[in-house]
Chains A and B, each alone.
Chain A
Amino acid sequence: MSDPFTNLKSSMEKSVFKDFSFSNERKNAVKEAIRISQSQPQFHSWKIETIIAILESVQHESKDGYTISTQLFQKNERTFQKNEGQLYTLLHLLENKEILTSNWINKKKYYSLNSKGKKYLATYKQDTSKQELSLNHLLEEASL
């Protein structure tokens, strides 16, 4: 018994798929769509200051997202103003990178510094010159 499908590939190539390939215009349309999807969300470019502000706010005790958000606001860190959801994206990212750890207590997720996070914070404080820090202080006071 011969297999009726043996010639399927050549048959289809000669008939229904003749001159039918995924054109360069179509490929470029895909690349274009990818580029647009990238340029829209700006979430990826976090400022170092924002990250540090979060690390600082949880360095002594664990806090839930809402408390962190309020503290950032008090510290005049406005990255997440009117865009609070993004804070949770960043918290999640930091958690994935093992800079933060979390605990569920009473249906709330409490974040705290991991050993890796503590190290980052310490190095950051050493690296930045005192001048710059005091300048930041000044700026902060000026904007209050």
Chain B
Amino acid sequence: MNGLKQLAVTDESMVLEREEIIDQLMQEYSDDILHLVYTYVKNRATAEDLTQEIFIKCYERLHQFNQQAAIKTWVYRIASNHCKDYLRSWHYRKITLSDKILDYIPSKSKQVEEEIIANSEENILTNAVLNLPLKYREVVFLHYYEELSLAEISKITTVNINTIKTRLKRAKDLLKDKMIEEV
């Protein structure tokens, strides 16, 4: 009879174990994930909201995690897909984009703000990367900021390694053109 009692109880102990795992994942990766999310959505508050959703999603999907893969790549993949879903969502396209149009209407305070931000060398590089098209921005960030290998990036984005290499090369060219423009 113990077997059946266990059956009723295992779910409960598994719940605690899953909670523990999510806690550890947050300690370990939450800042990296937050920064990754930011490079997709370019807004701090949205990035924080989405990161929160991502860890909840990890909790819900934990039973689907395949032990053969590294948990880090698995979490990154969920994060990357979640961001892409968000960028495709109705809310983002209709509401956030119309807010963005306001950015193009010149306002004095904004100009000043941007000038202060824009002058250091660090900011020039950061802004240049953030303004790259998504498919380049994504691989550049994962490779140079998160310091992941091409194989890992390939697993996260489900893009072929050679394609990633080409994108990195193309991103370098784009960046150089931009830097020359700015100087």
Instruction: Please name the residue on chain B nearest to A10 by beta carbon.
Output: B122
Q: With A10-B122, A11-B122, A30-B56 known to touch, is A5 a contact of B8 (CB < 8 Å)?
A: no
CB pair B144 A34 closer than 8 Å: no
CB pair A9 B145 closer than 8 Å: yes
Contacts of B140 in A (CB 8 A): 5, 8
CB pair B126 A16 closer than 8 Å: yes
A108 close to chain B: CB less than 8 A: no
Q: With A9-B144, A44-B11, A48-B5 known to touch, is A27 a contact of B120 (CB < 8 Å)?
A: no
Contacts of A4 in B (CB 8 A): 125, 172, 175-176, 179
Contact of A51 among B4, B12, B144 (CB under 8 A): B4
Interface size class of B (residues with CB under 8 A): 35 or more
CB pair A8 B125 closer than 8 Å: yes
Q: With A17-B38, A22-B34 known to touch, is A120 a contact of B4 (CB < 8 Å)?
A: yes
CB 8 Å contact bits of A10-36 with B (1 = contact, 0 = none): 111011110011110011011101110
Q: Complex formed: what's the CA distance from A22 to B35 in Å?
A: 9
CB pair B56 A8 closer than 8 Å: no
Instruction: Please name the residue on chain B nearest to A11 by beta carbon.
Output: B122
CB pair B38 A97 closer than 8 Å: no
A123 close to chain B: CB less than 8 A: yes
Q: Complex formed: what's the CA distance from A51 to B3 in Å?
A: 12
Q: Is the interface of B mostly helix, strand, loop or mixed?
A: helix
CB pair A44 B12 closer than 8 Å: yes
Q: Complex formed: what's the CA distance from A21 to B31 in Å?
A: 5
CB pair B55 A30 closer than 8 Å: yes
Contact of B126 among A12, A26, A29 (CB under 8 A): A12
Contacts of B1 in A (CB 8 A): 48, 120, 123-124, 127
CB pair A120 B120 closer than 8 Å: no
Contacts of B19 in A (CB 8 A): 31, 34-35
Closest Cβ of chain B to A60, distance in Å, is 20
Q: Is the interface of A mostly helix, strand, loop or mixed?
A: helix
CB pair A11 B59 closer than 8 Å: no
A74 close to chain B: CB less than 8 A: no
B30 close to chain A: CB less than 8 A: yes
A46 close to chain B: CB less than 8 A: yes
Contacts of A93 in B (CB 8 A): 7
CB pair A15 B26 closer than 8 Å: no
B-facing residues in A109-135 (Cβ within 8 Å): 120, 123-124, 127
Instruction: Please name the residue on chain B nearest to A30 by beta carbon.
Output: B55
CB pair A30 B52 closer than 8 Å: yes
CB pair B175 A97 closer than 8 Å: no
Contacts of B153 in A (CB 8 A): none
Contacts of B60 in A (CB 8 A): 37
Contact of A22 among B4, B48, B117, B143 (CB under 8 A): B48
In the complex, the 4 A-B pairs of residues with the closest C-beta atoms, listed nearest first: A22-B30, A11-B122, A44-B11, A8-B144
Q: Which residues of B contact A (CB under 8 A)?
A: 1, 3-5, 7-8, 11-12, 15, 19, 22-23, 26, 30-31, 33-35, 38, 44, 48, 51-52, 55-56, 59-60, 117, 120-123, 125-126, 129-130, 140-141, 143-145, 147, 171-172, 175-176, 179
